[in-house]
Amino acid sequence: MKLIVLLSGGLDSTTLLYEMERDHEVVAALSFDYGAKHNHRELPMAAYHCNKLGISHLTIPMAFINDYFSSDLLKSGGAIPEGHYAAENMKSTVVPARNAIMLSIAAGFAESHGAEGVAYGPHTGDHFIYRDCREEFLKPMAEALREGTDAAIQLLRPFVKMNKGEIVQRGIELGMDYSKTWSCYKGEEVHCGRCGTCVERREAFSLAGVEDPTVYQNS
């Protein structure tokens, strides 16, 4: 199938890119610069893998999210909380309707460029605080995109029943170099090691039984 892949430059979506490249025809990978504190760290990672695989890569500017939306993930928001991803305080990093926005743009882009589907990489660990990673959202969203486009764009989410450890195992099989991915929401020189997404990243390598190549501030 001809696909558009949503690519942040993080661990999950980069693994997804490699899997989709193996199994489908990837027309382009789309990234979004929406004012997250770590966009400047993850977007170069996204570009690196697209360049390596010879895949067209586009970054959609969405400054309006930073300007008008409320979230601690954004430069306009408060400090990134520390702790486990599933903790209540991580909720302040939710960017309202972010995935609906990105998926809709990707669907319009897909139809405009002759693609038949959009692939994106939510997994079971996202479900605790991010409502827009759950099947309760994804199922009707997939139906809306299919019914709302002339090309009946399909929404692929192959990792939705996998945990992050299984994703890392998959990526290792695909020959991925995880040192070239970025997770930390703080967006500093190296991964902080303490924010929710760093804690989850560490867990993923531990679950996968794979050495973690990440440099953390706090090891």
For 4, how many CA atoms within 13 A lie in the half-sphere containing its CB?
Answer: 26
Look at residues 85, 59, 60, 65 and name the one whose alpha carbon lies nearest to residue 77.
Answer: 65
Residue position matching structure tokens 């890119």: 17
Q: Find the part of the chain contacting its own copies (CB under 8 A) among 127-135, 161-169, 178-186, 197-205.
A: 127-135
* Least gap, CB of 39 to its own copies (angstroms): 16
* Least gap, CB of 207 to its own copies (angstroms): 27
| Contact present, 157 and 167 (Cβ < 8 Å) | no
Q: CA 129, 197, 75, 78 torsion: positive or negative?
A: positive
Q: CA 96, 100, 104, 110 torsion: positive or negative?
A: positive
Structural tokens at position 192: 């902080």
- The nearer residue to its own copies, 39 or 71, going by C-beta atoms, is 71
- The nearer residue to its own copies, 97 or 190, going by C-beta atoms, is 97
Can you tell me which of 22, 40, 113, 161 binds its own copies, judged by CB under 8 A?
113
d(CA 107, CA 96) in angstroms, rounded, equals 19
Site for its own copies in 80-109 (CB under 8 A): 91, 94-101, 103-105, 107-109
- The nearer residue to its own copies, 108 or 158, going by C-beta atoms, is 108
Can you tell me which of 53, 60, 190, 207 binds its own copies, judged by CB under 8 A?
60
- The nearer residue to its own copies, 67 or 177, going by C-beta atoms, is 67
Look at residues 162, 168, 84, 98 and name the one whose alpha carbon lies nearest to residue 130.
Answer: 98
d(CA 82, CA 84) in angstroms, rounded, equals 7
| Contact present, 46 and 23 (Cβ < 8 Å) | no
Structural tokens at position 196: 């929710």
Can you tell me which of 137, 160, 180, 194 binds its own copies, judged by CB under 8 A?
137
- Write the binding mask 152 to 191 for its own copies: x where contact by CB under 8 A, - elsewhere: -x--------------------------------------
Q: Find the part of the chain contacting its own copies (CB under 8 A) among 38-46, 141-149, 158-166, 179-187.
A: 141-149
Check residue 213 for interaction with its own copies (CB under 8 A).
Answer: no
Can you tell me which of 22, 25, 52, 58 binds its own copies, judged by CB under 8 A?
58
Structural tokens at position 83: 């702790």
The residues that touch its own copies, with contacts defined as CB under 8 A, are 58, 60-61, 63-65, 68-71, 91, 94-101, 103-105, 107-113, 131-132, 134, 136-137, 140-141, 143-145, 147-151, 153
